[in-house]
Amino acid sequence: MDSRKNEDLEAEIQSHLQMAAQDKVAAGQSPRDARDATLREFGNVGMVKEVTREMWPGTSLESFLQDIRYGLRTLIKTPGFAVVAILTLALGIGANTAVFSVVNGVLLNPLPFRDADRLVVLFHDKANFPEGSISYPNFLDWQRDNQSFEAMAAYRQNGFSITGAGEPENVHGQRISSTFFPVLGVNPVLGRNFSADEDRLGANPTVMISEGLWKRKFGSDPAIIGRRLIVEGVGRTIVGVIPAGFRLRISNFRTGDVYLPIGEDTEPQFRERSSAWGMDAIGLLKRGVTLEQARQDMARVNRGLAAAYPDVDAGIKSRIVPLKEHMVGELRPVLLVLLGAVAFVLLISCVNVANLLLARSNSRQREFAIRVALGAAQQRIVRQLLTESILLALVGGVLGLILAKWGTAAALAAVPRSLPRAENIGLDFHVLLYTFGISLVAGIVFGLVPALKTSHSHIGSTLKESGRNLAGTRGRAQGAFVVAEMALALVLLTGAGLMIRTLFHLWEVDPGFNPHDILTFNVSPSSSLASKSPDAIRAAYREMHAAIRSVPGVEAASFNWGAHPMEGDAEESFWVQGQPKPARRADLPYALQYVVQPEYLELMQTPLKSGRFLRPDDNDHSQFVVVIDEDFAAQYFPGKNPIGQHLVNEQTGGRERVEEIVGVAGHVKQFGLDQDAINTLHAQIYESFFQQEDDLMRRVAKGTDVFVRTRAGIDPTSVFPAIQHALNRVDAGMVVFGPENMDQTVADSIAQKRFSMTLLAVFAALALLLASIGIYGVLSYLVGQRTQEIGVRMALGAQRSDVLRLIMNDGARMALLGIGIGVVVALGLTHLMTSMLFGVRPTDPLTFAAVTLVLGWIALLACYVPAHRAMRVDPTVALRYE
């Protein structure tokens, strides 16, 4: 249809030309002259066709396609411009897509559970620990007495040794209530969930395994249900297989390989109402019950508990947090700041491309003036220009998607552990829609100003001026662009600067120990050890210690059955002998507890402030001793010498254990470089590993952490295989696993901040680059515009340095104005980052001064090149410059 009409128009014009030429021949001209004259009179055939076609009743789609074809032709005609514009946009759009795909995967996508919006996490809110663990008896009462939950489920994580199926190994696992998977709506791929009967003391031992373990250990045997797996030396019947797609990472829960019913745990301490064994709970709210109603309901339940068990449950509180909020709540401000930052990068890209378009539209001024003169509507020209810019943006968007895919992968590789829900991040439909959306908006944003300016400029004078354009108004628009770019870049630089200062502050924080050359790992001896006498267990551990120390490269080693700095905490309640014992156990103070060997202090290189550390002769036959940290001393013995004082703690069965304080050590930043100051629990105690009570030794027999200082200059993890070998010579059934470099553990504790800093720095660098290109481009253009003027000035006696100053002044004015606006905007925005900062205020003057200087210098540098070029203008050439 369209092509027939085009042929028709072509034929119509040809017949016109033919008839006109024939008339001229009849009037006596030579055929050649006649044809030339006819063509001259007719004018531009292509243009006539173009404007005639615009009269056709064609659908808007047709004219749209026409615009696209025309746009593509123009872009192909100026490949340099197209490539620069598309790359600039691809960077901006790609960065936005990458950050959005993270936001989408982490914050926006619903959790992959049925009724995800009714799922909550429950904690026992107590002193020092707003998200403290719940004791099993309290949990059972919560479960029984509440009226707002469809179901609750408790869970506690553990390492479990599994034997009887190939090589013995230690796997991560969870003890769970029988209601756990039903609450989440997760169904086994094979078999069934635990029954309530299997979730109580004395039940027949059962186990559920992961699909991964099922594949790895049993070759996906379809007849696995009913077979036995030996877990921690106990044969258990496999009742179900959990799908590989089940993923959950929350406080005290990590997807594991084995799941055991929590209710059949025989450990007596676990069943004490005062215990805190790292057990949390999840719950499924009843339909229509709000969070607030559930909180009130739980407060009612807790009042009952406080009345029934005043000794341990006085003032007990529950904390209920929506599951998603618990998983990603902390990350929300960080991601939103990053999303805002990356939007700024896109804005700068848009401004740069708008600048390019302005400069280019200059050369097309005549083309549009002619089209308008021939009757094309201005609206039509704006549409044409917008089509071109949207075309650019969409091509940039496609390229940006590719960059984003690659960039997201790179960014995620940098933070393997600290980002929750990282497995959800990818380019899904929402991300594609977002990319398409921002490309479209970007196309309109950077296309509109140049399009309006071009189509509205003074057509009559444009034609008369034989192609020279209006440097004045055009220059103003470009000047405004530069100012905007500078301001945007300054805001981003400030954000990045604040994060860099934060990281510097964090790196300067003394963790209280020297993490270099420390290897940590776990041991889990053969399950038969737990049934031996406490003395036999101590002997076995002494033998293991000797084996580890004999490995070349090991300089010191210590078991640690307690808190693991920056990884996991363990606490013990106590009171100071001679001071009144609190009436209720609920009011006992707590201290972080490290159960270690004498070499621990030397190994960690934690300073000893006074007294002595644990000694090899602090054993099960001697007086119980304890070393406290300086914060403990300050808190409980202000202005007094704690050495020689005694701490008392209550053991199972109510027996009191008295320990003499023999030394004071430096404070260790248990909760991480940035978090330790925020956490209220600071007091720390060191107890002797071999002075632990007999019943604790039986638990220690199941496994503990090991800390090793290795010879300086070697990779700490490199000695791990030799240690493994040495320990297996002592006990062939022992599982030695989880080697970690302490440096890495410390780095991981600030990984999220490092991640934010890296991204902000990358965005700021990108912004700086784009903004410098922008100011350079505009100044070069303006210098080109003013060549004639410069020539005149020089002809009238201006010095080269005057010219340099003239141009530099122009650039500096724009840059300074942009920087000024940027500072104001940054002051308004940086407070959004408060939660991400450490040791630096959002209005940190040093950061502001530094980024202002950096941006100022770079802007001046970008101005210098075109200014220098202007300085070398030859007046005689410039005056002829057209």
Contact positions vs another protein (CB under 8 A): 8-9, 11-13, 15-16, 18-20, 22-23, 42-44, 47-48, 51-52, 54-57, 373-375, 456, 458-460
Cα Rg of the chain, angstroms: 37
Distance CA 822, CA 26 (A): 74
* DSSP run (H or E) holding 559: strand 554-560
Please give the DSSP secondary-structure letter assigned to residue 349.
H
Please give the DSSP secondary-structure letter assigned to residue 611.
E
Closest approach, Cβ 882 to another protein, in A, equals 24
Task: Kindly tell me which of 54 and 115 has the beta carbon lying closer to another protein.
Answer: 54
Closest approach, Cβ 52 to another protein, in A, equals 4
Two structure tokens written together for 165: 């199926």
Task: Kindly tell me which of 48 and 827 has the beta carbon lying closer to another protein.
Answer: 48
Task: Kindly tell me which of 27 and 796 has the beta carbon lying closer to another protein.
Answer: 27
Closest approach, Cβ 31 to another protein, in A, equals 15
The torsion region of residue 646 among left (phi > 0), alpha (psi -120 to 50) and beta comes to beta
Closest approach, Cβ 376 to another protein, in A, equals 9
Distance CA 267, CA 652 (A): 11
Q: Give the closest residue to 693 by CA, choosing from 772, 624, 790, 592.
A: 624
> Going by C-beta distance under 8 Å and a sequence separation of 6 or more, which residues neighbour residue 43?
none
Task: Kindly tell me which of 458 and 612 has the beta carbon lying closer to another protein.
Answer: 458
CA quadruple 833, 836, 840, 841: dihedral sign: positive
Task: Kindly tell me which of 63 and 237 has the beta carbon lying closer to another protein.
Answer: 63
Beta bridge partners of 258: 173, 209
Contact 630, 665 (CB under 8 A): yes
Q: Give the closest residue to 174 by CA, choosing from 156, 153, 187, 152.
A: 156
Closest approach, Cβ 51 to another protein, in A, equals 5
Closest approach, Cβ 437 to another protein, in A, equals 34
Closest approach, Cβ 11 to another protein, in A, equals 7
* DSSP run (H or E) holding 318: strand 317-322
> Going by C-beta distance under 8 Å and a sequence separation of 6 or more, which residues neighbour residue 261?
175, 176, 177, 178, 194, 198, 199, 200, 203, 206
User: Given the structure tokens 């302490």, which residue do they identify?
Assistant: 742
Closest approach, Cβ 3 to another protein, in A, equals 16
Two structure tokens written together for 780: 């070069």
Q: Give the closest residue to 329 by CA, choosing from 51, 567, 107.
A: 107
Task: Kindly tell me which of 9 and 189 has the beta carbon lying closer to another protein.
Answer: 9
Closest approach, Cβ 457 to another protein, in A, equals 9
Distance CA 833, CA 335 (A): 10
Task: Kindly tell me which of 21 and 518 has the beta carbon lying closer to another protein.
Answer: 21
Closest approach, Cβ 378 to another protein, in A, equals 9
Distance CA 583, CA 311 (A): 8
Task: Kindly tell me which of 291 and 374 has the beta carbon lying closer to another protein.
Answer: 374
* DSSP run (H or E) holding 443: helix 429-456
Closest approach, Cβ 23 to another protein, in A, equals 8
Residue 425: phi, psi to the nearest 5?
-85, 125
Task: Kindly tell me which of 202 and 460 has the beta carbon lying closer to another protein.
Answer: 460
Task: Kindly tell me which of 315 and 375 has the beta carbon lying closer to another protein.
Answer: 375
Distance CA 467, CA 370 (A): 12
Task: Kindly tell me which of 24 and 501 has the beta carbon lying closer to another protein.
Answer: 24
Contact 294, 156 (CB under 8 A): no
Task: Kindly tell me which of 34 and 664 has the beta carbon lying closer to another protein.
Answer: 34
Closest approach, Cβ 114 to another protein, in A, equals 60
Task: Kindly tell me which of 14 and 579 has the beta carbon lying closer to another protein.
Answer: 14
Residue 595: phi, psi to the nearest 5?
-110, 105
Task: Kindly tell me which of 13 and 306 has the beta carbon lying closer to another protein.
Answer: 13
DSSP secondary structure, 684-752, as one string: EEEEEGGGS-HHHHHHHTT-EEEEEEEPTTS-GGGGHHHHHHHHHHH-TT-EEEEEEEHHHHHHHHTHH
Task: Kindly tell me which of 19 and 244 has the beta carbon lying closer to another protein.
Answer: 19
Closest approach, Cβ 56 to another protein, in A, equals 6
Closest approach, Cβ 367 to another protein, in A, equals 14
Strands 258-261 and 169-176, bridge-based pairing:
parallel
User: Given the structure tokens 């006649």, which residue do they identify?
Assistant: 34
User: Rounded to a whole number, what is the distance in angstroms from the first to the last CA of the chain?
Assistant: 46
Closest approach, Cβ 788 to another protein, in A, equals 24
Other beta carbons within 10 Å of 246 = 17
With b for 16 or more beta-carbon neighbours within 10 A and e for fewer, the 642-671 pattern comes to: bbebbbbbbeeeeeeeebebbbbbbbbbbb
Residue 160 exposed, middle or buried by CB count within 10 Å (0-12, 13-18, 19+):
buried
Task: Kindly tell me which of 11 and 307 has the beta carbon lying closer to another protein.
Answer: 11
Residue 643: phi, psi to the nearest 5?
-65, 130
With b for 16 or more beta-carbon neighbours within 10 A and e for fewer, the 863-880 pattern comes to: bbebbebbbebebeebee
Task: Kindly tell me which of 40 and 880 has the beta carbon lying closer to another protein.
Answer: 40
Q: How far is CA 680 from the centre of its chain?
A: 26
Closest approach, Cβ 37 to another protein, in A, equals 14
Residue 773: phi, psi to the nearest 5?
-60, -40
Closest approach, Cβ 453 to another protein, in A, equals 13
